[in-house]
Amino acid sequence: MKTFFSEDHRLHFPQAELSGGEFVTPFERPSRVEYIRNRLISRGLGAIEDPGPVDMDPVQTLLDPGYLRFLETAWADWKAAGMAGEIIAANVPARGMHMDRVPDFIDGKVGYYCHASETAMTAGTWAAAQSSMASAQAAVRQVIGGARSAFALCRPPGHHATRDQYGGYCFLNNAAVAAQMLRDGGAARVAILDIDFHHGNGTQDIFYDRGDVPFASLHGAPQDTYPYYIGYADETGRGAGEGANLNLPMPPGTPYSTWSEALDSAIARIAGWGAEALVVSLGVDAYRDDPISFFKLDSDDFTDAGARIGRMDLPTVHVMEGGYAIEAVGINTVNVLEGFLG
């Protein structure tokens, strides 16, 4: 399996994440993908290639143009306004306020386009997010070209980003654009299976009204974890998308025996949807030692999960999402891919 990876991820590394009322070094840090890359090499999983430049056409078609312009100019606008630090959202439109009027001043714009203030932006964030998207796109091209699967080693991750909001360490929804590109490449139905510990709110939102890109997510119950206000089991899709959204929230302490049953039901639904291609939002933060999560998967469980996904026998693009237990993130991620390959 080929991996696509851009060194430009390094351009995004904020100093600060707001966590428990303190600024800490972000959990989503550059070393994560270095551990994954080193493990790919030591296991001999296949070539690792630079993706080349991003193609913004499919990104602009799927996402909000105003949001993309905001991401492109946010840092310059922030600095021009005399802000000393990194970009952090301090105000967001809340109940009773206007949800659809974009402020002129950058501080207000930031809140309008952000849903979670733990995530900071810096000078290099936009370039890094585009390079991450480029890896997803190169992996899609590989699969459209006939490969059974490819791995997009994306950083920053993407599944929390909506059409017009960043947050949860995500800026551009790589998995969503990958799925749309597989649709455009001829697959009539493209399923997205999200195994990251957190609910893939951005991906769900982007395809909620559509039946051609069904979405299934296994995640920590929103009552107990980020993104808190979405990810319930009764969110089943709308209009043409009714019945094409499957949320499988699970409580703190969930072991692999329970999680793997949920995975099997997601896999059965994806078969029922008649998917012709698959995008896996591959987060490994369901791991027992993950510092911000509460499932209890062991490293071996990720191999078994990958094997179950592989038995679906679909052309598959794996897109890296979360996973913050630094020393294990490479092992767990590559275990999924090795399990998948069989």
| Residues taking part in catalysis | 160
Q: With respect to ligand SP5, which residue has the nearer C-beta, 2 or 29?
A: 29
Query: Which one of 109, 160, 189, 199 is in contact with ligand SP5 (CB under 6 A)?
Result: 160
* Cα–Cα distance, 210 to 196 (Å, whole number): 22
Query: Which one of 33, 154, 292, 319 is in contact with ligand SP5 (CB under 6 A)?
Result: 292
Q: 222-257 as b/e, with b when 16 or more CB fall inside 10 Å? A: beebbbeeebeeebebeeebeebbbbbbbeeebebe
On the CB side of 239, how many CA atoms lie within 13 Å of its CA? 5
* Cα–Cα distance, 74 to 55 (Å, whole number): 21
Q: Point out which span in 7-15, 167-175, 182-190, 301-309 binds ligand SP5 (CB under 6 A).
A: 167-175
Q: With respect to ligand SP5, which residue has the nearer C-beta, 51 or 157?
A: 157
Q: Can the peptide bond before residue 156 be classed as cis, meaning omega within 30 degrees of 0?
A: yes
Residues 196-235 that bind ligand SP5 (CB under 6 A): 196, 198, 226
160 binds, among ligand SP5, Zn ion, none (CB under 5 to 8 A by kind): ligand SP5
109 binds ligand SP5 (CB under 6 A): no
Shortest gap between Cβ of 199 and Zn ion (angstroms)? 9
In terms of Cα–Cα distance, which of 100, 130, 97, 132 is closest to 113? 100
324 binds Zn ion (CB under 5 A): no
* Cα–Cα distance, 191 to 210 (Å, whole number): 11
Q: With respect to Zn ion, which residue has the nearer C-beta, 37 or 219?
A: 219
Site string for ligand SP5, 5-34 (x = CB under 6 A): --------------xx--------------
168 binds, among Zn ion, ligand SP5, none (CB under 5 to 8 A by kind): ligand SP5
* Cα–Cα distance, 322 to 13 (Å, whole number): 15
Place of tokens 């039946």: 211
Query: Which one of 8, 55, 118, 235 is in contact with ligand SP5 (CB under 6 A)?
Result: 118
- Where along the sequence are the contacts to ligand SP5 (CB under 6 A)? 19-20, 118, 157, 160, 168-170, 196, 198, 226, 283, 285, 291-292, 321-322
* Sites of contact with Zn ion (CB under 5 A): 196-198, 283, 285, 322
